Amino acid sequence: MAKSKSKAKGKYRFSFGPWNIDEGADPFGPPVRNPIAQSKKIKMAKQMGFDGMQFHDDDVVPDLDTKSHAQIMKEAKRVKRMLDNEGLKAEFVAPRLWFSPRTIDGAYTNNKARDRKYAIERTKVCIDINNVLNTSWMVVWLAREGSYIRESKNPRIEVLQIRDAFNAFLEYDPKLRILIEPKPNEPVDSAIIPTIGHAIGLGYMTCDPSRVGCLVETAHSILAGLDPSDDMAYGLAHDKLWSVHLNDQGGLKFDQDKSFGSYNLRRAFNQVRVLEEYGYGRKGEWVGLDVKTMRTQKQAVSAKHLANSRQTFLFLLEKVCTLDRDLEAQLIDARDYEELDRYILCHLMGLKY
Ligand code: GLO
Ligand code: MG
């Protein structure tokens, strides 16, 4: 667990997923780097000071749909051993519900009952994998739950379908916790659960709201035109921010997953600030980095974005912990927010105030 030099209230454990070290393919061009084996990625995580890994179900067991349940459990145990050998934990396993031909038109909200059934059964297998990896936290990014044209689905029914699917999972495993990761668009044109407010509201509709929380991703908030630190604060006010996907995003473009703080340092500072002021991590919440390296990056240095993002977080944590709180209180009391603005900028730039 990383410690700040100054006394931090939060407890910060860092994680990322195997998909965060990739081969650089994009919709306009092929891979530009060679794949790195899972076992190597796990070792790299340890070397870079990470405490755990995040997974999709088929990161743990490739080609999941073609294997027997016994085989899936056997392969999951192998990954658990790899993690144990490095002293790493699995933060969560997420069902990858956007790749199969059966989820082209959505998973739990697919218009075909047999395809919805596939998505529910696949998620139950994901829950079993979670159990083998000794985590009860399942992140659900509702990638294709939404539409390209509104008339193709009934949006009210979609919400209820997701609720019913979640109820089935909560009943399937009494220890399970679901973390909803909202995103407003991409791959679908408009997602049915686009923001953290929607995610939290949906959680309250389930049979056990105490086991449904959320994960805020920086880029997803920005794509929704919202401020990520406010979204995190909203989740924290409900005690429902159970994970984060920190990264950065240059406005309304494609989902960039840039290194944390690389576009807007002050926005990153404020994300660390709301987490630290809450005492994030004391209930076991993780700091996940959902970052992607630039396509231009060469093979041997294709994980720098992860180490850099973690370091930027710790640097900003130091900035949060060394803020002059008396001065801040005086400026707030005097309602001199221009001066507060100047003080924050000086503090971030390391200038004498
Ligand atoms: C995509 C999402 C994706 C999820 C991951 C875990 O935009 O951020 O990377 O975080 O699939 O559920
Ligand atoms: Mg994410």
For the Cβ of 116 lying below 6 angstroms from any atom of ligand 1, the answer is no
Q: How far is CA 321 from CA 6, 45, 196, 262, in A?
A: 6, 26, 27, 21
CB 46 within 8 A of CB 83: no
For the Cβ of 94 lying below 6 angstroms from any atom of ligand 1, the answer is yes
**Cα-to-centroid distance, 346 and ligand 2 (Å):** 32
For the Cβ of 141 lying below 6 angstroms from any atom of ligand 1, the answer is yes
Helix/strand/coil for 61: coil
Residue 36, φ and ψ in degrees, nearest 5? -110, 135
CB 287 within 8 A of CB 12: yes
Locate 11 and state its tokens: 């407890």
Asked whether the whole model's pTM tops 0.95, one would answer yes
- Kindly state the helix (H) or strand (E) to which residue 229 belongs, with its residue range: helix 228-237
Ligand 1, residues 126, 181, 257: which to mutate, most atoms within 8 A of Cβ? 181
Q: Which ligand has the nearest atom to the CA of 56?
A: 1
**Which ligand 1 atom is nearest residue 94's CA?**
12
Q: Which ligand has the nearest atom to the CA of 186?
A: 1
Nearest-CA residue for atom 4 of ligand 1: 141
336-350 as b/e: b if 16+ CB within 10 A: eeeebeebbeebeee
For the Cβ of 22 lying below 6 angstroms from any atom of ligand 1, the answer is no
How many other C-beta atoms lie within 10 A of the C-beta of residue 53? 29
For the Cβ of 91 lying below 6 angstroms from any atom of ligand 1, the answer is no
Q: Which ligand has the nearest atom to the CA of 99?
A: 1
Per-residue pLDDT of the chain (353 residues; tens, 9 = 90+): 665 556 899 999 999 999 999 999 999 999 999 999 999 999 999 999 999 999 999 999 999 999 999 999 999 999 999 999 999 999 999 999 999 999 999 999 999 999 999 999 999 999 999 999 999 999 999 999 999 999 999 999 999 999 999 999 999 999 999 999 999 999 999 999 999 999 999 999 999 999 999 999 999 999 999 999 999 999 999 999 999 999 999 999 999 999 999 999 999 999 999 999 999 999 999 999 999 999 999 999 999 999 999 999 999 999 999 999 999 999 999 999 999 999 999 999 999 98
**Cis geometry, peptide bond prior to residue 101 (ω within 30 degrees of 0):** no
For the Cβ of 258 lying below 6 angstroms from any atom of ligand 1, the answer is no
For the Cβ of 313 lying below 6 angstroms from any atom of ligand 1, the answer is no
Residue type at position 168: A
Locate 55 and state its tokens: 């997974």
**Cα-to-centroid distance, 290 and ligand 1 (Å):** 7
Domain boundaries, the chain: 14-322
Tens digits of per-residue pLDDT, 265-320?
999 999 999 999 999 999 999 999 999 999 999 999 999 999 999 999 999 999 99
For the Cβ of 55 lying below 6 angstroms from any atom of ligand 1, the answer is no
Please give the DSSP secondary-structure letter assigned to residue 2: B
Query: Domain 14-322, what fold?
Result: TIM Barrel (3.20.20)
| CA nearest to 179, candidates 86, 245, 134 | 245
In which region does residue 180 sit, left (phi positive, over 0), alpha (psi from -120 to 50) or beta (all else)?
beta
**Which ligand 1 atom is nearest residue 140's CA?**
12
Mean per-residue pLDDT over the chain, rounded: 97
61 Cα distance to chain centroid: 20
Nearest-CA residue for atom 11 of ligand 1: 141
CB 91 within 8 A of CB 288: yes
Residue 56, φ and ψ in degrees, nearest 5? -90, 160
